[in-house]
Structure 1
Amino acid sequence: MVTTRAFRSFAHIGLIVAALALAGCQTASEDPTPTDAPSSAASIEPSPSASDASSASAEATPGGDGEGEETSVFDLDVGDCFSADSDQLETVDVVDCEQTHEYETFALIDHEAGDDEPYPDEQELLEYADTICQPPFESFVEHDYQSSIWYITTLTPSEETWADGDREIVCTLNQQDDDQELISVTGSAEGSGE
């Protein structure tokens, strides 16, 4: 299961790429809230952004068009665009970024901890993900995070996937409206300068 957390300067969701059959993930919010979802499901919910602006290619409608290649949340690649129609999910429909979507994966980064190191404090892991995803965000978007129209959402390992040696952090971005609801967009954020 993945738990989510949202906060103003660095917004993200936790998840690590792992074998779906072996383990689940958890997400945490700034005020962690336990979930009762199956351990192999990922949880995605909106998180606040560095800016309240939105681009002309964005529309405040939930979800994508529902058409795309069904992909495990554990198999996302850089450049994958997708929407999440529920808070608990195991797969997403990856679509061409020119189609309507909510999220875009912009980096996959391995945590520096070795295989024999214990699961870090959840807050420590989330702060690490915040820090490690910001430089590739700025390179990908070609704009600084604090004044960008995009929000960072990270997927980090759960305690179970960590025990299996998983260390990958998936960095994604999205847009949100003034009520912090996800905004569906078309086109890639890569090189957008926003």
Structure 2
Amino acid sequence: MVGAFVGAFALLMLSAFTSVLAGGPLSTKRELVNAAYQANVGECLNWERKDLSDAQKVDCGAAHRFEVTGTADITAAYPKEAPFPNAEAWEKISQEHCAQAATTYMAGKLDPEGKYGVSTLNPDEKRWSDGYRQIRCGLQVTAPSGAALPSYGSARTQDQSNVYDPGICLALGEGNTVGDPVECAQPHAFEIVGVVQHPEGEFLAIDKQDAIMSEKCAAIAAEYTGGADLKAKGLLVTWDTRSEKSWAVGSRKANCKIGAVPQGNNLVAWKDSVRNPNGAPLTTANPPQTTSVRPQDEPTGAPLHSESGKSPSESGKPSDSGKPDKPSSSAPTTTSENR
């Protein structure tokens, strides 16, 4: 995810409603979850527990994990006698019924490589066996693992750039990818040192973005580290770029970051932070960038990641928009270049 997400949407099936909705006495928790099932387009839902037993409607300006973009009744394709869908079937349902709903909800301006992914709230097996066939489509910010991250404000009014607050470290994931936010004391691929806001106007070609980011990220990194000798530490400065598709819907922000010198095309994990402990307080977004919040330890329910074929919006798979698996070849690598 080293910037914009590319690839197929992370289509998240939040089937963990099962334990609360499958039966049992009517309780306050159950009423709250039922309210989530009854959420309308434009409403937002939040929960803290892994089983979603405390899910409820909240103001979209507050922290939330799901924004409803539409509803769909799939009875025609799945009559009462139809078996409960497996993971692949749920993914197909999500693509067919929710991808377009998200694009329509965003008035055609959904960043295909941004921080929002298409998700669904699906009935559990008990409700399915009782003939319940309605799903809720929505948008949510998800970590590469599929864990839902808190978001603030309606997706329709937020900058969709896939960026992190300074001071966030990102794990090295499987397959040479960039993973979830982790404590910087743990092995990680990158440490975010700042965010650059590109100006409005015509799309800047990648080489022009690189020129801007090279200069600005070097200065940001020097301030962040207190002028540390990164080369001596086996580290270098790199950055993200925004694609033309992202630029077209208004995404203008990009991260500056520090990573270990790669081995060929492979990222290398490293530990601890290079932030100057005596430096000025970090400037973070207000409210904070949603991805700066630590995700749940595990995804809620069973996350469905498309492994072949791409949904119309193509998002949710960790990658960098311009340089997917390695720092920029033009990134400064010596202390003098970072001062």
Is the contact between residue 143 and residue 149 of structure 2 (CA under 8 Å) also seen in structure 1? Answer: yes
SS at match of 1:82: strand
One-letter code of the match for 1:90? S
**Is the contact between residue 134 and residue 145 of structure 1 (CA under 8 Å) also seen in structure 2?**
no
3-state SS of 1:166 partner: coil
SS of the aligned residue for 2:155 comes to: coil
Higher radius of gyration, 1 or 2: 2
CA shift for structure 1 position 120: 4.8
**Which among 20, 26, 35 is matched to residue 40 of structure 1?**
20
- Indicate the larger mover: 102-111 or 92-101: 92-101
Per-residue deviation, residues 31-75 of structure 1 (Å, max 9, x unmatched): xxxxxx963259xxxxxxxxxxxxxxxxxxxxxxxxxx9453322
CA distance in 1, matches of 2:56, 2:125: 26
Contact 1:82–1:93 under 8 Å retained in 2: yes
What is aligned with 1:137? 102
Counterpart amino acid of 1:152? V
Looking at structure 1, the residues matched to 143 and 53 of structure 2 have their Cα atoms a distance apart, in angstroms, of: 26
2:109 is aligned with 1:110: no
> Which ranges of structure 1 fall in alignment gaps of 5 or more residues?
1-7, 16-25, 28-36, 43-68
2:141 maps to what in 1? 175
One-letter code aligned to 2:62: Q
Superposition pairs for residues 18-167 of structure 1, below 5 Å?
26=15, 39-40=19-20, 70=32, 72=34, 73-111=36-74, 112-113=76-77, 115-122=79-86, 123-141=88-106, 142-144=108-110, 146-167=112-133
Supply the RMSD in Å over aligned alpha carbons.
Answer: 3.1
Secondary structure of residue in 1 paired with 2:89: helix
**Counterpart-to-counterpart distance in 1, 2:142 and 2:95:** 18
Cα gap change, 1:94 to 1:145, in 2 (>3 Å): same
What SS does the aligned partner of 1:97 have? coil
How far apart, CA to CA, are the structure 2 residues paired with 1:41 and 1:170? 15
- Change beyond 3 A, Cα 1:161–1:98: same
CA deviations on 1:122-167 (whole Å, 9 max, x unpaired) are 1223312222100010111232463333111211233321221111
Superimposed CA distance per residue, residues 153-182 of structure 1 (whole angstroms, 9 cap, x where no aligned partner): 211233321221111111121124567654
Counterpart of 1:19 in structure 2 is: none
Shift of 1:13: 3.1
- How far off is 1:107 after superposition? 0.9
CA contact (8 A) 1:10 1:151 kept: yes
SS of the equivalent of 1:134 reads helix
* Alpha-carbon distance in 1 for matches of 2:110, 2:143: 19
Give the TM-score normalised by the residue count of structure 2. Answer: 0.36
Residue aligned with 1:130, SS: helix
SS at match of 1:98: coil
Q: Distance in 1 between matches of 2:152 and 2:125?
A: 35
Q: Secondary structure at the match of 2:137?
A: strand
Secondary structure of the 1:174 match is: strand
TM-score, normalising length from structure 1? 0.59
Larger strand fraction of residues: 1
Q: 1:155 to 1:177 in 2, by over 3 A?
A: closer
Q: Is the 8 A contact 2:84 2:128 kept in 1?
A: no
Identity of aligned residues (%): 23
Counterparts in 2 of 1:159 and 1:150: CA distance versus 1, 3 Å: same
Deviation per residue, 1:82-134 (Å, 9 max, x gap)? 22201102342322112232221111111133544412541223312222100
**Secondary structure at 2:112 match in 1:** helix
Are the equivalent residues in 1 in contact too, given 2:63–2:150 (CA < 8 A)?
Answer: yes
Asked whether the equivalents of residues 48 and 54 of structure 2 are also in contact (C-alpha less than 8 Å), the reply is: no
Q: How many residues align?
A: 142
Residues 183 and 124 of structure 1, relative CA distance in 2, 3 Å threshold:
closer
Amino acid at match of 1:170: R
CA distance in 1, matches of 2:50, 2:120: 15
CA 1:115/1:91 → structure 2, altered by over 3 Å: closer, same or farther? farther
